[in-house]
A and B are shown apart, each in its own frame.
Chain A
């Protein structure tokens, strides 16, 4: 057990709890709880968004993938950065100008609100739960290695803590915890990348030559092809990130926390810069992990296998290069990272259930803020239980892969609906329903039939769907059915929705002064 890690972790825990209880005093209304009253500035939001993206998957998962597959982990890094380019240029400002609390608010500006909220609640819950489980799996693994307690105890600890943060502090606490965590994670990444480069006298060629010499695959570790060998897998991965990030409900909610559309776009730009910088550091750390850990006497189990699994590569690297003190610091930061991300996810899930499903679908707007908040609290407790159960089932899986599966579902459901609703005049509620169902069924179905679930989790011999990710097929099917059912929609309702496109476009470009915050 690492005492530095425990002390650093406790210090962060106390700091974040102080933030939470401070935020709790400022959280008075529903708007404060869901979107911090729209009072977060662009810099704060930029750091918070970057914090949401720089999750455990980035440092633990991608460095783990680098260790095993080398160059191919760059696909993940590039795709994350590209996805934010799409958000900055095409989505951020329009989202802020159209939305209020959730993704469904944006889509129901001109489409049937009840149908939209029901459909989007289903897709959002599928996406958010998959993403949440990935983070909790990472937390359980980390705690097991760091503190010497069981994986299950780590899972229970992180889910209980997230419940406390969200229950009391809402979006204000979640945002501030993200800001603190993003700063510390950037610092940790800079120190670790610096240490890797320092170990090889700041000579990149020397680092890469050592990586190629140490890795069982030799020079091939510096070339594409160890993880992805076909166009469909690469295209699916790219699409999963490009569309998936823009369709993540907890990311979309962040754009409602700033005062206007201009601040939303600026904050997305700030986040993009921070994310790009951080992922360049991860590339260096990844090759450092190969060069230093593959033949390390203490941590290597032969080949690319490591003590604690490949997710622990960054942690072991920190210990080798920085000793127990840096190991403690980085572990505590990563644990806080996971905690902060799951808080954002939990908030989005509870908002989807209480605001979209309960208040607007089941009660059709006829409920008090107090009733909505009560349902929100009940949802939080349910998420805790579901998170623990699913994370226990998926113990030992690579975190980056788990996150990408969540992104694949998001890219096949929320993203097509959002893009078509904002940019295509002929899109109607009928098309939304058809596209949403097609995207959800094909993405979830193909994920279950893919090697990841069918072989790794369900222990079958061969996968029914041979590719790692389903996005190329599932996203295409969502777009196709949304298009087909929209262009064939001759209903009066459909005509009205098309006529309202101009008003929606006006509001999305210029914003409004009538948002009832």
Chain B
């Protein structure tokens, strides 16, 4: 193995084999995938909604109502991501605290 690539110390290797660490990694990977799909879905929805918005909003109405529709489309995705991110951070921290423990998290 080349010298300039990553190596774990003995202590780090032992931690990496512990059940607590492994369960954290599994949880982390699962949450990363969920977040990835959530962000992708939000963005896709935002893009599709925006593409069709001219047709949807092309009716006589007061300016404030039109603006509200657009604003809701635009910032809805952000609100969704913020809400999930708070949940995500709580989740990851729970698992991170279990590193090195022999018992898998409940």
Chain A residues packing against B (C-beta within 8 Å): 71, 74-75, 77-78, 81-82, 85-86, 88-90, 108-110, 112-113, 204-205, 208-209, 211-212, 219, 222-225, 228-231, 234-235, 238-239, 242, 265, 276, 365, 423, 496-497, 500, 502-507, 509-510, 514
**A78, A81, A219, A223 — which one has the most chain B CB atoms within 10 A of its CB?**
A223
B70 lies within 8 A of A503 (CB): no
**Best-buried of B42, B48, B50 by chain A (most CB within 10 Å):** B50
Q: Are A506 and B8 in contact (CB under 8 A)?
A: yes
Which residues of A lie under 8 Å from residue B64 when comparing CB positions?
A: 204-205, 208-209
From B32, B57, B67, B85, contact of A423 by CB (8 A) = B32
A365 contact set on B, CB distance < 8 A? 4
Q: Answer whether residue B30 sits at the interface, using C-beta atoms and an 8 A cutoff.
A: no
Query: Is there an interface contact between A234 and B63, defined as CB atoms closer than 8 Å?
Result: no
**Please, which residues of chain B bring their CB within 8 A of the CB of A88?**
85
B46 and A208 form a contact (CB under 8 A)? no
B36 contact set on A, CB distance < 8 A: 90
Main secondary structure of the interface of A (DSSP, over half): helix
Do residues B66 and A234 form an inter-chain contact, with CB atoms below 8 A?
no
Q: How many A-B residue pairs have CB under 8 A?
A: 125
Given contact pairs A78-B46, A224-B57, enumerate 10 new A-B contacts (beta carbons under 8 Å): A78-B78, A108-B4, A113-B4, A208-B63, A222-B67, A222-B70, A231-B48, A235-B47, A496-B5, A500-B6
State how many angstroms separate the Cβ of A396 from the closest Cβ of chain B. Answer: 28
Q: What 7 A-B pairs are tightest by C-beta distance, nearest first? A: A225-B54, A205-B64, A208-B63, A224-B53, A231-B51, A85-B81, A78-B74
SS class of chain B's interface: helix, strand, loop or mixed?
Answer: helix
Q: Please report the C-alpha to C-alpha distance between residue A224 and residue B70 in the assembled complex, in whole angstroms.
A: 8
Considering the chains assembled together, what is the distance between the CA atoms of A71 and B4 in angstroms?
51
In the complex, the answer to whether A90 meets B58 with C-beta atoms within 8 Å is no
Given contacts A89-B35, A110-B5, A503-B7, contact A230 B51 (CB under 8 A): yes
Please list 7 pairs of residues, one from A and one from B, whose beta carbons are closer than 8 Å in the complex, sorted by A's number: A82-B81, A88-B85, A242-B39, A502-B16, A503-B8, A504-B6, A510-B15
Among residues of B, the one whose C-beta sits closest to the C-beta of A98 is B6
Docked complex: B46-77 residues within 8 A CB-CB of A? 46-48, 50-51, 53-54, 57-58, 62-64, 66-67, 70-71, 74-75, 77
> Which residue of A is nearest B24, CB measured?
A509
Q: Which residue of A lies closest to B57 (CB)?
A: A223
Supposing A86-B39, A205-B63, A238-B47 touch, asked if A224 and B85 sit within 8 A by C-beta, the answer is no
B9: Cβ under 8 A from any A Cβ = yes
